[in-house]
Amino acid sequence: MGTSRNVERRTILKAAGASATALGLAATTGCGGDGGASADGTVTIRYAWWGGEPRAIAIKKTIALFEKKNPKIKVKPEFTDYEAFWEKFQTQASGGNPPDVFQNAVGFLRKYDKRGVLMDLKSQADAGNLNLGAFRNGVLANGQVDGKQVGIPVGANTMSLVVDLKAFQKAGVTPEFGWTWDDYFAALQKIQDRVKIAGDTGYFAIMYLYDLYLRQNGKAFFTESGLGFTEADLTRWWEDGYKRVKAGLVADPKKIEQVKPKSGLSAGLAASEFTWDNFSIRYEGEGDSDYGLAPIPTTDGKHTGQYLGSLMLSAFSGSKHPEEAARFIDFMVHDPEVGEIMGYDRGILATTEQYDAFTPTDKTNKGVRAYEEKVAAEGVLGKITPHPSGADVVEAAFLRIGGEVAQGRTKPADAAKTLFGEAKAAFAG
Amino acid sequence: MTLVKEAPARPAGKRPAAPAAGRRGRRRENLAGYLFMSPWIAGFLLLTAGPMIASLYYAFTSYNLFTPPRWVGLDNFTTMFQDPRWQRSVEVTLKYVVVATPLKLLLALGVALLLAQSRRGQGLYRAAFYLPSLIGASVSVGFVWRALFSDDAIVDRAQRVLGVDVGGWIGNPDYVLYALVALSVWQFGAPMVIFLAGLKQVPRELYEAAEVDGAGALRRFWNITLPMISPVLFFNVLLESIHAFQVFGSAYVVSNTSCGPADATLVYTCYLYQKGFKEAQMGFASAMAWTLVVAVALVTAVLFWSQKKWVHYEEAAK
């Protein structure tokens, strides 16, 4: 500190200045997410979604289109994968700083409605900022909770069986509408015998498939406030599943685990996988075979238990720009050009304007359209299962505990008991 | 330890003339010091101390981040101790600590002994062995590990050559934890460097005297090296076990964020993370965090108590 041991006033001032600058910097970066209106009246809203790279590219194009037509509104995109999205969203929402507009799914509606995060978009519709008409097949109801419109569907999707066409052909199996679970498992056996691979990637840990099975039998996975089945039901479902893992009809979970995040179907470990029909596009990109959509097996030879689900757009109840948020959502679900850009990435387009504007030209999108038209024509579509608050946590637990059953680490009866325990805590939370 | 040196004494005859002015100067000096430190102090209070105190309070509440915390007394702790997944996470973590820490230290000490001998290019060797410690905590290494320990990858092929056929470790609940242990052991560089420093401080003449007396290499190691570096060994055991209790990143990445399969890599912090940030049970997660703090403090206390029996602080080492 030089020759003088006395500290000069200047030094103190400098230190104070440096500290203040550092704190000031921290403060400005801390408030970066504010997004208020600027001097020229331009408003910035934040829009967040989850999904892969193709979705991000498409959405950014639609944002550019919106900004061109609405020069006073700027849209700031934020995106991650599904799991990270909800972790981040939960933290942001609890801090009162969620995005103004965000992608949503039916499993999260009640949870965030209960926590006061979701805007009732009816008021914005009444104010003329958002058109609630022109939705196909009644999917608008998917975004309603207790009479409030908390989500606006962007698409409609339904569960399907994605199959490796080459493997099915080699085994001589042709899935048809109305085929039963017995037919399905007999098909898996044929595939094992003739193609020497497992038939399925692990059907019994997929909550939305078990929901369909329950609906075929007059039940459903969820009721308005809890689980719609018994421990004994689930024990039997998982016992059967584990038996099929041991028999080799369902792929070895150790191998499925190792190829993640790739699917066991596209890795060639199994010949089929149950998933939402709009996800079918991933397999073409990931795998070497040809893939197609097959019907859900039934219990009675007719009813698949299916319904139309939806990804939707929601707005934050505390948004500083509710009008702009509503107009943005309106544009995203009704504008024909947006429909053309997005395609069936988030399901068959939800509104007639967008549905008519997009004609699929590639095999996968054509397949999705044909599949949903066929399902609708069969007259098997029912009303969507309710999703109480905590449904998202239960879905994750179902997948995890089902995985333990598959690995042979937990007896089905104990596993069912664990799921019921965790579900109880999730509904209470 | 002997590494800490006394601050050099102030040169004589340079004391300030008047004591009063000196006191004022000292106060100014302190003020300047605190001002320079203030960004750090503010950060510590706002980002570390504050949240810690808050989490101590949350540990006794039910708190879902949205509704205000509700006081529940010891409920979180009683639920936690009965929770099978919590018990599982404790089991997994203890197994990891007990297996990974000694293996890592053994390897670090072994390599340090080799590198302590002077030879050509020793700087290069030291750098090479230290390198994994620098990159080990990264996410990309986690991905590489996933690839190394999957079916038909190098580990699987090597074990098949040896006649062991268990397949890849990543998907196997019985083996996947050892992939994490291997990752930890591979990062032995940091304790190795500390061991090296310790070895360099053992006085040559002790070895020479022992050699004259006819002691073999093993005996010299056991009776001279080990006691002389025991303070360094103690330091490493302490640091590495505390570190191992807090393992998170490798488990999270190697398991593709699930801490599975079948909860096989559900280390304590991973369960804490799931409870806090996936299920929004912040009260429960806080209770878990403070239980870990107490557990690590207890382990540290036991280690400190045990050092009386095996750690030698030689006066001669000065």
Q: How far apart are CA A308 and CA A192, in angstroms?
A: 32
A&B contacts, CB < 8 Å: 106
% pLDDT > 90, chain B? 74
Q: What is the pLDDT of residues B132-177, one digit of tens each?
A: 888 766 888 999 999 999 988 999 999 999 988 888 999 999 999 9
What type of residue sits at position A352? T
Q: Is the distance from CB of A429 to CB of B279 less than 8 angstroms?
A: yes
| All domains of chain B in start order, with CATH | 95-266 (1.10.3720.10)
Q: What is the mean pLDDT of residues B81-102?
A: 97
Cross-chain residue pair B31–A404, CB shorter than 8 Å? no
Burial class of residue A130 in the structure, from the number of CB atoms within 10 Å of its CB (0-12 exposed, 13-18 middle, 19+ buried): buried
Q: Do domains A43-154+311-358 and A159-306+383-428 have the same CATH topology?
A: yes
Band the pLDDT of B7: cuts 50, 70, 90: very low
Q: For residue B44, what is the DSSP state?
A: I
Runs of H (alpha helix) within chain B: 19-43, 50-58, 75-82, 84-116, 122-135, 139-148, 154-161, 176-186, 189-200, 204-212, 217-220, 226-245, 249-254, 268-273, 282-310
Q: Is the distance from CB of A363 to CB of A176 less than 8 angstroms?
A: no
pLDDT value of residue B123: 84
Which of A94, A108, A254, A409 to probe by mutation at the B interface, max B CB count within 10 Å? Answer: A254
Residue B168 phi, psi (nearest 5): -65, 155
Tally Cβ neighbours within 10 Å of residue B98. 12
Q: Is the distance from CB of A325 to CB of A120 less than 8 angstroms?
A: no
Helix (H) / strand (E) containing A78: strand A73-80
Residues constituting chain B: 318
Taking chain A (429 residues) in runs of 10, the rounded mean pLDDT of each run is 50 58 47 55 96 92 97 96 94 95 96 96 96 95 96 96 96 96 97 96 97 98 96 98 97 93 94 94 89 97 96 97 97 97 95 96 92 94 94 96 96 97 92
Residues of A with CB under 8 A from a CB of B: 5-7, 11-12, 15-16, 18-19, 22-23, 26, 83, 86-87, 90-91, 93-94, 115-117, 252-261, 393, 396, 400, 403-404, 407, 409-410, 418, 425-426, 429
Half-sphere exposure for A207 (CA within 13 Å, toward CB): 21
pLDDT value of residue B1: 40
What share of residues in chain A are helix, strand, coil (percent, to 5)?
50, 15, 30
pLDDT value of residue B29: 85
Residues constituting chain A: 429
Q: What is the pLDDT of residues B163-213, one digit of tens each?
A: 888 889 999 999 999 999 999 999 999 999 999 999 999 999 999 999 999
In this structure, of B24-28, B98-102, B261-265, B275-279, the range with the lowest mean pLDDT score is B24-28
B281 contact A CB<8A = yes
B167 contact A CB<8A = yes
Q: Is the distance from CB of A124 to CB of A130 less than 8 angstroms?
A: yes
pLDDT value of residue B8: 47
pLDDT value of residue B6: 44
pLDDT value of residue A9: 59
**CATH code of the domain occupying A43-154+311-358:** 3.40.190.10
> Does the CA dihedral A20-A22-A25-A26 come out positive or negative?
negative
Residue that is written with structure tokens 């098909």 in the block: A187
Nearest to A90 by CA among A393, A323, A312, A421: A393
> Residue B105: which residues within 8 A CB-CB, separation 6 or more?
B188, B191, B233, B236, B237, B240
CA distances (Å), origin A210, targets A295, A308, A401, A418: 15, 16, 14, 17
Q: How far apart are CA B192 and CA B196, in angstroms?
A: 6
Cross-chain residue pair A18–B36, CB shorter than 8 Å? yes
Q: Which fold has domain A159-306+383-428?
A: D-Maltodextrin-Binding Protein; domain 2 (3.40.190)
Q: What is the pLDDT of residues B281-316, one digit of tens each?
A: 999 999 999 999 999 999 999 999 999 899 988 654
Average pLDDT for chain B? 89
Chain A CA closest to residue B67: A115
Question: What is the domain partition of chain A in residue ranges?
Answer: 43-154+311-358, 159-306+383-428
Q: How far apart are CA B290 and CA B304, in angstroms?
A: 21
Burial class of residue B248 in the structure, from the number of CB atoms within 10 Å of its CB (0-12 exposed, 13-18 middle, 19+ buried): middle
